[in-house]
Structure 1
Amino acid sequence: MTLEPETSESRLSDRLDVLAAEHGLPGSAVAARRNGHEVFAAGTGARDVDGALPVTPDTGFGVASVTKFLTAVLILQARDRGLLELTDPVSRFYPDLNCARDAEMRLYHLLSHSAGLPGLPFRHLATPSSDAEGPGKMRTPGDLVAGMNATRIEMLGAPGAYVSYSNEGFCLLGGIVEMLGDCSFAEVADRWVLRPLGMHRSFFCAGVTEDRTDLAMPLHRGASGLQACGFWDAPLFFPAGGLVASVRDMARLISVLEGDTQVLGAKAARDMISWSLPVASRQGSGARYGLGLEVSALENGHVLGWHTGQRPGISSFVCHVVNGNVSVAFAANIADAPSAAIGGEVLAELLAPESRDRSQPPLAGRSASAGTDAVCGRYGSREMGVLKVARAGDRLMVDLPSGRHELAFETPYSGIVAGQTFCFLREGAPASARQTATALALDLRILPRLGGEGSLRQ
C-alpha cells in the first residue's frame, strides 16, 4: 500500500478544527498510528460544560460501543489460552438461558451479533454500581439471564442467519470473561489488554472519580445550552459500552488487528475479520460484521476493520487497515457526531487515493419512487421502540428517536436516512417495490414489522 509521505500535521489539525465547528462539537480529539508508531494526535475544543478546560490527545472520553472490540479481543485471547472455543455453545456457560438451551447458539454468534436475538430493553434497566443490592436490580449476567427468561423473546431467526445488533449478547460474553478470569470484567480487561498495550489512560466508568483529571464530560444540548449528562456507570453493560479511553489508547487498541502483538496474534486477528456476515442494511456494498467489528473492503484489496460508538454525550470511532498497519481513532463529548466520517477523513489523508474505502454508503439518495407504500407501517423492538414509516406528500418519512426524517432511496428498497443505511426486507431478503416489507434493517439492527404480515424467519 502506498502512503502519502509526511502528511501535514498542521493540515490535519486545521481540518479537525473546521469539522468540530461545522458539527458543533464541544470537544474532540484524533490520533493516528502507522507501523506501530504515532504519526498524528490532536485535540480541539473543551472537555467541560463551561468551555474552560481544553481537550488534548490524552483526554479520556467515553467510547461507548467501541468497547465491544475490546470484549471480542478478550474472548479471542481466552480461545488462544485454551479456555474455550468460538464454536462452544452458549449453553456451556449459561445452561439456564432458555433461548440458548438447544445448543445451536454459539459464542461466535454472540460476537458477530448473529445469535438471532431481537432488540431487548435491558440497557434501559441496567443498575448503576452506586445502587445497593436488592430485588429487581440488574447488575450481573445472572440477573440478565433471569430477565431474558422472564421476557417473551421472539427470535429473529436461526443463529447465523442475520446480523442484528445486540448489546445483551456482549453482556453475556463479558460474563464469560468474568467466569474464566474469576474476577470482574474490568480487572480481566486491565490485566489482559490495557496494561500490556500501555493503555494507561483507560479504565471503566465506575472509575470516574473526583481524583481523575483530564476527562471529557459527556454533554448534551438542552434548552439552556450545553448540559452534563455523565458517564454510563452500569457494570452489567461495561463489556458492551463502558470503556473510557484517550484517543491515543483507542488507536493502540484497534492496531492489534495487525496481529503482531502478544495481545492478539495473527490467527486471532484473521479470525476477527474472516468470521463475518453481511450487513442487511447495506445490500451490495460488501459491508460485513466480523467478531466485534465492522469489515469493509478497500479498493486495493486491503481490508478495513472499524467500529463506532454512540451514547448520550459520546461519539467515537476506531479503524485499522489490515496489512497496511494504519490506525485512526476519534472521539467527541457529544452524541450524534459524524464520527466515522471525521475519522475517515483522517484516514484518507494517510492513504493514497486508490486505497479509499469503496463500501462506504452514500451520504444522500434520491427521492422515493412508486411502489413504496408497501413499506409503510410500524417497525420496532423493545430496545428501539416503535418507528413509524408513512408517506408525507411525495416523500416517505420515518419517525426516529432524533425526529422525523426522509427516507432517501438509492434502490427501490434501500438507501440512507439520518446518516444511517436502511433496507426493507421480506422474509430476510430485500423487498421488491410491490412486496409488503416484513422488517426494516436500519444500520446494524433488524426491526420486525409490528402487527404486519409475514416473518423474517426462513
Structure 2
Amino acid sequence: MRMDPSMSTAPDTTTTTVELPRATTDGWSSAVTESMTRYALPGLGAAVAVRGDLVWSAGFGLADIGRALPVTGDTLFRLASVTKLVTATAVLALRDSGELSLEDPVSRWVPGFPPSAATIRHLLCHGSGMQRETPNDPGWRTGRFRSDEDFRAAIGESEFPFAPMERWKYSNLGYNTLGEVVEAASGQPYAEFVMEHVIEPLGMNGTGFYPGTGLRERLAKGYIRIPDQDAVVEDSKGWAALPAPAGQLFSTAESVVRLGSFLAGDLEKGPLSPGTLEEMRRPQIIADEGWSQGHGLGPMLVRDASSVLVGHAGGLFGYAAWLLASPKSHVAAVCLTNVGDGAPLLPLVQRFISEASEVVPAELPAPAMPPTAEAAELLGRYWGDGEVVSLVWKGGNLVGQWPLREGLTRGPDMTLEREDRDVYRFVDHGPYVGELLRVERDDYGRVRGFEVCTYGYRRL
C-alpha cells in the first residue's frame, strides 16, 4: 500500500521559556513530509525540548494504514536500542549507590560468563569485544527470542572476537548481559528496577516494556518496505518481545524526549547526579577513524563541527528511532517512525537541534556573590612557567585563568574548589583537572604564590 505522508496532525506545541519561530517549525514539518515521501514512511512522531521543556511536537502520517489512524501525541512507538540508555542509567545508579563497580569483572555478577577480562565498563561502551547477538538465537529470523533461562545458558557460549577496548564492537548481547547485572546487584527484576529507579524519576509517562491490551490500541503498527517499491507491508514480527535490556521499551515522542533532556542535564531531578551524568557522556571509545561517532557509558556520541551530541539510535521489526541531545545548547530532539529503516531520522534530528539552538536564550546570570575571605586574598595575577595567569572570582567560584597555548587544551576558566586551608582542586576541565593548587605564604602569612603540578607561580 502506498503512503500519503501529507496526512499529519496539527503540531501539539507547548511554549514555555522558548517560543520557536513559526518559520522554523513550518520548515521542520516540510522536511519531515519530504523525508516520509522519499523513504515511504507510514507515520512519524517528533518532539523537541529546550532546557527540559517541551517546545514542539507533531505527528505525521498514519499509525495504522488499514484503519487510517493518524499519528498523534499519544501514539506509542517501539524505541528499540534507545532502551540501552535506560539500562546504562540503571547500572550507573547502582554504581552510585555502592552496589557495584564499573571495574567489576562481568563474571562476578553473571554466572557462566565466559572467561574474559571484560568489565561492566566495557559492556556499557561496547568495548568488551563480545559478539553482537546471543549465540544460536532464532529471534531475529522468527520473532521468537530465547527465554530468560535459555539466554542465561547461552551466555557461556559467547565469543569475543576482540580483546576488551581493542576496538568498538556493538553488542546487543552485551546489553542483555547488563540486564543480568542489574538484577543480580539490585535484587529486583530488571524491568521493575528500571521502571522504579529510571523511568518514573524521569517523568516518562506512557513509557514501558510490555504494554497491555489498552495501550496496544495506541501502538503504531510496524511496517517493512517492499524492495524497489514506494510501498510497505505490515511486519508480522512487530509485536515480538525482545530481551528487555537491549531494546524492548515503548514510548511516545513527547515522553522519550525527556530522556534526551536528562542527557543534556536539563532536568531538575533525575536518577543520576550531575557528576555521574557528565561521566556517562564522556567518550570511552571511538567508533570510526574519523571520530564522527563514539560511545560513552551508554550514549552514542555524534560529533559535528562544533559540538558532540549524545543519545542513541534504534531499529527493529517495523520501527526506528533517533534521540539526540546537546548539553552545550540545552536542546533535545527525537524522531520515531513505524518502518524499520531509520535512514532519514538522523539528519532530521540534527536539524531540529541545530535550528532550535539558534533561538535558545542565554542563561540569566546568577546573582553576584562576593568572594569568600579565603578566596579574596588569592585574587590577582601570578607569573610562572613562562606565562602570566590569574586567579579571579567568577560566578560564585574561584577560577584560574591560564592563557591559551597552541595545541594545548587550556581553557581560559578552570574552577577551583577548596579542600583545606591553602589547598584547592581543579574540578571541571583543562589540563589540571583533578590536580591540586597549594598556596604558598611568606613569613608574615601573606600569599606569595602557589604550586600546581610542581610548577611554581609567584604573585605579581
Distance 1:43 1:127 in 2: 29
1:113 aligns with: 126
Q: Does residue 66 of the first structure (1) align with residue 71 of the second (2)?
A: no
Give the Cα separation in 1 of the matches to 2:49 and 2:192. 27
CA contact (8 A) 2:197 2:271 kept: yes
Any idea what the Cα deviations from partners look like across 1:332-384, whole Å, max 9, x if unmatched?
0001132212222222321349xxxxxxxxxxxxxxxxxxxxxxxxxxxxxxx
| 1:166 correspondence with 2:171 | yes
Q: 1:221 to 1:278 in 2, by over 3 A?
A: closer
| 1:316 is the counterpart of 2:317 | no
1:215-364 equivalence runs, <5 A: 215-221=219-225, 225-234=232-241, 237-259=243-265, 260=267, 261-279=269-287, 282-300=288-306, 302-338=307-343, 339-352=345-358
Percent identical pairs in the alignment equals 28
SS at 1:254 equivalent: helix
Q: Report if the CA contact (8 A) 1:4-1:351 is conserved.
A: no
**Structure 2 Cα separation of the partners of residues 32 and 234 of structure 1:** 29
Q: Which letter does structure 2 place at the counterpart of 1:271?
A: E
C-alpha separation between the residues in 2 aligned to 1:15 and 1:286?
A: 24
Q: Does residue 125 in structure 1 map to residue 138 in structure 2?
A: yes
1:31 and 1:57 in contact (8 A); partners too: no
Q: Displacement, 1:167? A: 0.4
2-structure distance, mates of 1:52, 1:262: 38
Structure 1 unaligned segments of length 5 or more: list them.
132-136, 354-458
Return the alpha-carbon distance in structure 2 between the equivalents of residues 161 and 190 of structure 1: 34
Q: 1:14 to 1:275 in 2, by over 3 A?
A: closer
Mapped contact 1:46–1:54 kept (Cα < 8 A): yes
For 2:90 and 2:39, locate their aligned partners in 1 and report how far apart those are by CA, in whole Å.
34
Distance in 1 separating the partners of 2:301 and 2:226: 36
For the pair 1:84 / 2:89, whether they are aligned, the reply is no
Question: Cα RMSD (Å) of the superposition?
Answer: 2.7
1:391-432 Cα offsets, whole Å, 9 max, x none, are: xxxxxxxxxxxxxxxxxxxxxxxxxxxxxxxxxxxxxxxxxx
| CA-to-aligned-CA distance 1:260-313 (integer Å, 9 cap, x gap) | 53322211111112251111xx3123531111221133434x421021111120
Cα distance change of structure 1 residues 158 and 188 upon mapping to structure 2, 3 Å threshold: same
Unaligned stretches of 5+ residues in structure 2: 1-17, 360-460
Alignment coverage as a number of residue pairs: 334
- Are 2:159 and 1:139 equivalent residues in the alignment? no
C-alpha distance in structure 1 between counterparts of 2:263 and 2:132, whole Å: 29
Partners of 1:88 and 1:107 within 8 A in 2:
yes
The answer (yes or no) to whether the contact 2:45–2:73 under 8 Å persists in 1 is yes
Please state how far the C-alpha of 1:208 moved relative to its aligned partner.
Answer: 4.5
**Shift, 1:28, TM fit:** 0.4
User: C-alpha deviations, 1:115-165, integer Å up to 9, x for none?
Assistant: 11133354843599x98xxxxx8322x5334213246x2x22221111101
Match of 1:198 in 2: 203
Task: Name the SS for the 2:301 alignment partner.
Answer: strand
User: In 1, distance between residues paired with 2:136 and 2:33?
Assistant: 34
1:148 equivalent among 152, 155, 169: 155
Q: Give the Cα–Cα distance (whole angstroms) in 1 for the partners of residues 139 and 189 of structure 2.
A: 17
User: Could you tell me how far 1:109 is from its partner in structure 2?
Assistant: 0.3
CA distance in structure 2 between the aligned counterparts of 1:37 and 1:210, rounded to whole angstroms: 28
How far does residue 23 in structure 1 lie from its aligned partner after superposition?
1.6
* Cα distance in 1 between the residues matched to 2:139 and 2:94: 26
Which structure's relative contact order is higher, taking Cα pairs within 8 Å and 6+ residues apart? Answer: 1
Q: Aligned with 2:329: secondary structure?
A: coil
